[in-house]
Amino acid sequence: MLEGRNLAVSRRARRGWNVVACVSTMFVVAAGSSALAQQWPTKPITAISPFGPGTSLEAAARPVFEKMSQDLGQAIVIEHRAGAGSATGSAAAARAAPDGYTLLLQSSTFSIVHSVSKNRTYDTLKDFTPIASFGAQPYVLVTAPSKGYRTLGDLIAAAKTSSGKMNYASLGVGSAPHIAAERFRLAAGIEAQNIAFRGPPDALTETMTGRLDFYFTALGSALALIKEGKLTALAVSTTARAKELPDVPTLKEAGLKEDGFELWLGFFAPANTPADIVGRLHAAAQKAMQDETVKQRLATLSLTSTPMTLEQFAEYFRKDVEDSAKIVSRAKIEIN
C-alpha cells in the first residue's frame, strides 16, 4: 500500500517536473527570440527579387532600402531569383530562416500567383508576413508608334480583324503585366497571344520595334520612353487619369467596362519572423519613405504612397489576393 502511494507521488512529481521544464523552455525560447531581435541585424540582409533586373519594383526598393540600411546599420542587398511567374523566388524566401535576414520583394504578381500556380511550394497567405508597401501606380498600355494606333479603339479594331494573330508582352504566365493584359483582352472581347520575357527592358525593346503589338506595363517602366516618343500610350488602368499623362484616357473612358486596377509594390518577411524584428523593419521602411530624397525618387516612378500600418497592409494584401482570384478564374490561367 505504501509502495502504491509512493508510486503515485512519484508520478505526480514527474508531471510537475515536466510542467516546470515546459514552462522553462518557453521562457528560454522567448528570451532567445527577444535577444535575437535586440542584436539584429549583425550582418547584411538579403532581399530576394523574384523577377529579372530592371523592374519598377527593384527601382522602388533601392532608395528605400538604402535609407533603411543607414537606419539599421546593415546593408540590404537585392538578389534576383526569377522564374515561374515569381514563384521561384517566393519559394526560396518561404524556405529561409525567419530571422530577419531574408526579405521578399513582391508586387501585385504575388496575389495573382496564389491562384494561377497550382504547384507552388508555399502558401501565399500563411508563409509570409507583410511588412510595408512602397506605393502603387497605374498600368499603361503601350504600343510602337510604327503600328499607327492613335487610340485604344484602333488597337481593338485591328485585333478583331487579325484572326487571333495579335500578341502582347508579359513577364511570364501569372505576372502582373500578364493579368493586366488579360483584363483588357476580356473587356475588349479580343484574342491575343502572350509572349513572355524575363524583364521589362526586353519586353519594352520588342514592343518599341513593333515585333509585339502591345504591352501593359507599369507606368514607371515606360514613362520616359513615352515622353521620348518611342512608345505610344493608349490607356491607363486606374479609375482616374495619371497626372504624368493627362491626355491619355482610362480604360473606362476609352469605352471598356473596367472599374480600374493598379500595381502595388512592397516587401515581406518569412512567417514567424520575430515580432520585434518585423516591427523594426516596418518602422525603418516608414521612416525611409518620409525622407524627401526617397519621396522624390519614388515620385519619378509614378508611385503614389499611402502610409499603412502592418495590419492595414496585411488586409490590403489579403483583399488583393481575393480579387485576383476572380480575374484568374475568368481568364482560365494556370501555371502547370
Distances (CA, A) of 296 to 244, 267, 273, 305: 14, 20, 31, 11
pLDDT in tens, 154-174: 999 999 999 889 999 998 888
- Structural domain span for residue 65: 44-136+262-331
CATH number for the domain harbouring residue 217:
3.40.190.10
Helix axes 219-227, 200-209, angle to 10 degrees: 40
**Residues 228, 269 within the same domain:** no
Domain count, the chain: 2
Report if residue 78 sits inside a domain. Answer: yes
At 32, the pLDDT band (50, 70, 90 cuts) reads low
- What distance in Å separates the CA atoms of residue 253 and residue 161, rounded to the nearest whole number? 23
Report if residue 22 sits inside a domain. Answer: no
Cell readout for 191 is 484574342
Report if residue 191 sits inside a domain. Answer: yes
Q: 467596362: which residue's cell?
A: 257
- For the segment 129-138, the average pLDDT, to the nearest whole number, is 96
More confident residue, 306 or 249: 249
Domain-terminating residue out of 193, 218, 236: 236
Domain-terminating residue out of 236, 253, 278: 236
Cell readout for 149 is 494606333
Report if residue 63 sits inside a domain. Answer: yes
The identity of residue 147, as a single letter, is K
**Residues 101, 164 within the same domain:** no
Cell readout for 197 is 520575357
- Among 13-17, 76-80, 271-275, where is mean pLDDT lowest? 13-17
More confident residue, 153 or 52: 153
Q: Mean pLDDT over all residues of the chain? A: 89
The identity of residue 330, as a single letter, is R
Cα angle for residues 276, 280, 286 (degrees, 5° grid): 145
**Residues 70, 123 within the same domain:** yes
For the chain, give the percent of residues with pLDDT over 70.
Answer: 88
Q: Closest by alpha carbon to 127, among 82, 86, 96? A: 96
At 34, the pLDDT band (50, 70, 90 cuts) reads low
**Residues 145, 231 within the same domain:** yes
The identity of residue 33, as a single letter, is S
Q: What share of the chain is helix, strand, coil (3-state, %, to 5)?
A: 50, 20, 35
Question: The whole model's pTM is what?
Answer: 0.77
**Residues 62, 128 within the same domain:** yes
- For the segment 224-242, the average pLDDT, to the nearest whole number, is 96
Cell readout for 132 is 510595408
**Residues 132, 280 within the same domain:** yes
**Residues 232, 143 within the same domain:** yes
pLDDT at 9 over 80: no
CATH number for the domain harbouring residue 131:
3.40.190.150
- What distance in Å separates the CA atoms of residue 16 and residue 5, rounded to the nearest whole number? 16
**Residues 154, 124 within the same domain:** no
- What distance in Å separates the CA atoms of residue 9 and residue 7, rounded to the nearest whole number? 5
At 87, the pLDDT band (50, 70, 90 cuts) reads confident
Report if residue 145 sits inside a domain. Answer: yes
pLDDT of residue 36: 62
Report if residue 204 sits inside a domain. Answer: yes
Report if residue 79 sits inside a domain. Answer: yes
pLDDT of residue 23: 44
Which DSSP symbol is given to 129? E
pLDDT of residue 29: 46
